[in-house]
Every structure is written in C-alpha cells, then in structure tokens.
Amino acid sequence: MIYPVILSGGVGSRLWPTSRALYPKQLLPLVSERTMLLETALRVSGGERFADPIIVSNDEHRFIIAQQMRDAGITPLAHILEPQGRNTAPAAAAAAAFVRAHDPEGVLLVLPADHHIADIEAFRDAVSRGAALAEAGKLVTFGILPSGPETGYGYVKRGTELGGGNAFVVERFVEKPDLETAQSYLAEGGYDWNAGIFMFRADVILEEMQTHCPEIAACASEAVVKGARDLDFLRLDPDAFAACPSDSIDYAVMEHVSSAVVVPVDMGWSDIGSWSALWEIGEKDEQGNVLAGDVLAEDTHDCFIRAEAGLVAAVGLENMIIVETGDALLVAARDRVQDVKKVVERLAAAGRSEHQAHSRVYRPWGFYESLDSGDRHQVKHLMVYPGAALSLQMHRHRAEHWVVVKGCAEVTIGDTVKNLQENESTYIPIGTRHRLANPGSEPLSIIEVQSGSYLGEDDIVRFDDVYGRDVKKPAAE
C-alpha cells in the first residue's frame, strides 16, 4: 500500500500578495479552478494502490484544509498538526511513525502540497516505478528532466543505471547552482532537477534516520506517541516536536545514505515558486501575456497580470508582473520576482498585516471580510457554512448589529434564542453573551456593523466553542 503524505506547511511568500501566511499558495486556485492542495490530493486518489492521504500542516490552516477536503469528498487517513514548522525531515518522520504503527512496510509517497504536475499519467507511472524500488528497501527521489539551466532548483546527479534506465543510483545531490554551473550540468548530462518528492518504506526511513539524524527520529516518534486527538486532527506533542532539529529530508538523510536512487520523469512539473513560474506554464494570448480577472492590456507583451478585486489596465508594458488583491498591489519586473520575498520581510518588520492575512479571513465556521472601518465603527460581511456556528462569546468594548442578507440565522443573545430570516436584524449590546449559527442547508450571509471604543479581533471572550478553541473557564474553577 502506498501512503501519500502531503506536506502543507509553507507560506509561499514569493507569491505575495495573493499568498499570505494565513492563506498560503497551496490553499489557493492558482493554476486551475481547484486549489493546489486539492490538485495534489486528487492525483494520488482512486484505485486500490493508494491509501487515503495523510496531511501534515500547521494548526492555523487546519479548518481551511478540512473544509477543502470535505468539499472534494476526500477523507484523510490522518491530518497531523505540527505545533511549529521544523522543515520536511521531522514532518516526514512523524508521518512515517504514524504509518509504521499500522503498516511497518507501508510505502510513503511524500509530496509538497504546492507543486503543479501537468502530465498525471507520467507522474503515476514514475510512482509505480518508485514503489517497486521503495518496497525493496531503497530511498527514492524523483528527478525532473531539465528543460533549461535553471538556477532556482537543486540537482541530482545520476550514477549507476538500474532497471534498464528506469532508475539510477544517486551519485550526489548538488545545491542550487549559478547560471554557468547549471549550463555545465546540461552540457554534461545526467543531472536532473530535484523535485522534492520522495518514496520509502516507513520502517526503512526511520531506521536510516536513527543512524543519520537520531534526534529527529526519536523526537518525531515521541511526538506521535504522545500526540492528542482533537476532533479529526492528530496534534503532535509540542514539547517533543519542538526538540526536533529543523532540517530537510535531503540534508538529514538522502545525502548520507548509499541506498538512495533517482527515478527520472518528464511530467510537466513546476514548484510554482514565483509569479514568473505561473507565467511560464500559463495560457498566453497573442502578445505573450497571461491574464486573469478583469484585465485590459494595451500594447503590452510577455506580462503576467492578475486582477482579483478590481479592474487592472496596463499600457505599453513588457516583461512585467502585476497582481492586484483589493488591499495590495504588486508591480515587479518579471526577472525580479524572487525579490518579492524581501517585500514580505519588510512588511513583517514594519508590523503591518498585509503579509499575514487577506481582507477576507477564514475561520472554521466560514469567513469574514471587512467592508468599511472608521474611528469607532467597522462593517463586515460574515459567511457561515451550513450547520456551522460561531463560539458563544462576548465583547467588552463593542456592540454589534446583525442583518441577515441570505439564509436563515439562529441567534443566541443572553438567554434568548431566535431565528432570523432574510432582511431581519438584531442588536447585541456590549458585554452580552451571544452566538450566531446557521441551521440551514445553504450558506448564511450576514452584514455585521460594529460600534465601540475598540474593534480589534482580540476583544473576544469565548465561553463555548465547538472547534476546541480556548474558552473562558467558569469562575468556580
């Protein structure tokens, strides 16, 4: 059995302003109508060979991922929550420890959640070749046949041929090269891009980790054993996982073992590491532009332009990236998109919020988005999933008015529970316990008008929450 392990811990800062820490690129539909996470999960779904996927993510994304999986009809075998990011080796070790407890010789297929693969048949063929090697005790990596002297990827050097050219012993892994070195790799031949996709048996990878990175093996296994179930999630033990050294699978294990093999594959792969990558794989118009959203391009060539909230008009541009999200606008030369990360770093250093969250913020019950704000007021749109409910809560500094725009709302105010239909409204005074729920089968839309001396999101005291978030203990305790 092949156990797909989908690593969904990155923030995709080079794809700002669309990708942000609380809603990163793997959770977004950047290449197709499906999110990248869903595309990854679906390409390893179906048939008798694959088990249900194991997802490894951070805590902040858990409900968004769970909702996306439900919407696609996918039930993960496990959704493992990392208390903090420790790179790919501890994440893989935790997944391997989980699988080993159920199927010691089960084969893990470790996949980043944010890669694009155009040729699914070629991908699955490569996985079949890799599975046979992994079952025999090899540690398998997948090498992408290079289409040019790329300096943004690491490379794998092929060694001795195995199985009629279907795989090769790994001679060595090499870091991201400069342009001259990358050109020499292509001229010499035998070098593949390192895709960061791996296959190995659960027992084999943990044995190799015990030899080459024993702290990671021990701490990750302990984090699984001491982990706690929380709804549909497995929370790794925070102390044990924090003790894991932060390292990648490549550095921690693959570069040190003699059993590493590479399976070459040409499958239309991209790690979507920048906006220029989306331009490269996107469908271009006659002027070489990739346009998404409400865009007017006049005498503009070889540009990537994405409008998410309003009209973007471009005149007389070449080789540019323009991305508009309503609350932010990125304009960059196409050959400078790797530096978008520096903008994100500056936003964080300045204490701003645009790198962290969109104007639309997702919660386990749905989402809210700010429509207007002033000194003592804020207007929001709330969408509540069918059957979902916000926490029972109160605010010390603000009152709220709710107007039902669409759907039916069950409203708790103090000791009173009532239903509101479309175009009906209610008022929640400062300091009053209240809750909003959607008892219907369709999404509920609410316009919320807040007024008061302080309107921050931290002015929430929770008394009950179906999603396990922190609540205020009764005074007697």
Instruction: Answer yes or no: is 473 within a domain.
Output: no
| One domain for residues 318 and 218 | no
| One domain for residues 171 and 242 | yes
Instruction: Answer yes or no: is 476 within a domain.
Output: no
| One domain for residues 96 and 179 | yes
Q: What is the CATH number of the domain that holds 132?
A: 3.90.550.10
| One domain for residues 102 and 224 | yes
pLDDT confidence of residue 116: 96
pLDDT confidence of residue 477: 28
Chosen domain end from 218, 253, 270? 270
The residue ranges of the chain whose pLDDT is under 70 are 473-477
| One domain for residues 51 and 200 | yes
pLDDT confidence of residue 474: 43
Residues 6+ apart with CB under 8 A from 162: 133, 168, 169, 261
Instruction: Answer yes or no: is 191 within a domain.
Output: yes
Query: If you search the block for the tokens 């479309």, which residue do you land on?
Result: 422
**What is the pTM assigned to this prediction?**
0.89
Task: State how far the alpha carbon of 355 is from the alpha carbons of 13, 19, 380, in Å.
Answer: 8, 8, 20
Instruction: Answer yes or no: is 40 within a domain.
Output: yes
| One domain for residues 308 and 453 | no
Instruction: Answer yes or no: is 444 within a domain.
Output: yes
Instruction: Answer yes or no: is 470 within a domain.
Output: no
| One domain for residues 161 and 194 | yes
| One domain for residues 120 and 212 | yes
| One domain for residues 12 and 146 | yes
| One domain for residues 228 and 316 | no
Question: How far apart are alpha carbons 88 and 6 in whole angstroms?
Answer: 11
Chosen domain end from 348, 375, 406? 348
214-225 and 88-100 helices cross at what angle (nearest 10)? 50
DSSP string, 221-274: HHHHHT-EEETTEEEPPHHHHHTSPP--HHHHTGGG-S-EEEEEE-S-EE---S
pLDDT confidence of residue 476: 33
State the greatest distance between any 2 C-alpha atoms of the chain, in Å, as a whole number: 77
pLDDT confidence of residue 152: 86
Which residue range(s) make up the domain with 331?
279-348
| One domain for residues 53 and 15 | yes
What phi, psi does 273 have (nearest 5°)?
-85, -5
Q: Which tokens in the block code for residue 305?
A: 């332009």
Check whether the bond before 429 is cis (ω within 30° of 0).
no
Instruction: Answer yes or no: is 304 within a domain.
Output: yes
| One domain for residues 169 and 139 | yes
Q: What is the CATH number of the domain that holds 437?
A: 2.60.120.10
Residue 286's Cβ-count burial label (10 Å; 0-12, 13-18, 19+) is exposed
Domain count, the chain: 3
Chosen domain end from 270, 303, 331? 270
Contact 89, 252 (CB under 8 A): yes
Instruction: Answer yes or no: is 471 within a domain.
Output: no
pLDDT confidence of residue 7: 97
DSSP string, 433-450: -EEEE--SSS-EEEEEEE
